[in-house]
Amino acid sequence: MAPRQADLSAIERRLQAEFRPDTNRQFTSTTDQELKESEYIKNLVLPVGARGKLPLTKDKFVIDENPALVEWERQTRLFLSKLNDDFGHRVTAPMVYEWTTGISIADLAKAEGVDEADGRGGGKTGSANSHLRHINKILADYFGKPYKTRIAGRDVGKAYKVRPHFKVRNKKPMCITLWPEWDNGTLEV
């Protein structure tokens, strides 16, 4: 709603009278003038067809992922790539940990003096517990919900079913940090 002329102050009426959109450069059309171009920029830029992929700009990519989780995903993918894909497999986090590090979890817990009767959370695994949690998170993302089973006569708490013909190179990584490598085909597994 425009104010009535009587409601305007003397200064507002004077400024309104001075306002001329046709003379103010801010309101003139750019089509009436010859555009100024930069020859340097024209020579610098690539043609649209020759440009690379756009960078990752979505808000969901602006995160700070746990570097340990990213590295464990690399190692888990390497472990899974070594499995024979002609058969199904049952995989556990301790298998990945022990294969990757060469350290037995039982020996580690014994060396750290962990009480074997301590059944809280991952208390029996000692300092490997945080690593096992990372590996379990990755395996759960790849294969879904774990289940209890027996492998080689031993009870296993969290086993993940790897279906026959599973190829880890076709599976997009869980960690967003690894997505550009996977998209470019440079992720090692």
Asked whether residue 54 is assigned to any structural domain, the reply reads no
Asked whether residue 119 is assigned to any structural domain, the reply reads yes
Asked whether residue 22 is assigned to any structural domain, the reply reads no
Which domain range does residue 114 map to?
66-184
Asked whether residue 10 is assigned to any structural domain, the reply reads no
SS (H, E, C) 21-33: CCCCHHHCCHHHC
Number of independent structural domains in the chain? 1
Asked whether residue 5 is assigned to any structural domain, the reply reads no
For position 14, what pLDDT does the model report?
80
Asked whether residue 72 is assigned to any structural domain, the reply reads yes
Q: If you write DSSP's letter for every residue of 155-185 in order, what string do you get? A: EEEEEEEEPTT--GGGSPPSSGGGHHHHHHT
pTM of the model: 0.68
The CA distance from 69 to 138, in Å, is 8
Q: Do 123 and 114 form a contact (C-beta atoms < 8 A)?
A: yes
Per-residue pLDDT of the chain (189 residues; tens, 9 = 90+): 555 556 777 887 787 777 665 666 665 565 655 656 778 777 778 788 887 777 766 666 667 789 999 999 999 999 999 999 999 999 999 999 999 999 998 888 888 888 777 666 566 777 888 999 999 999 999 999 999 999 888 888 899 999 999 999 999 999 988 988 898 888 887
Asked whether residue 78 is assigned to any structural domain, the reply reads yes
Asked whether residue 90 is assigned to any structural domain, the reply reads yes
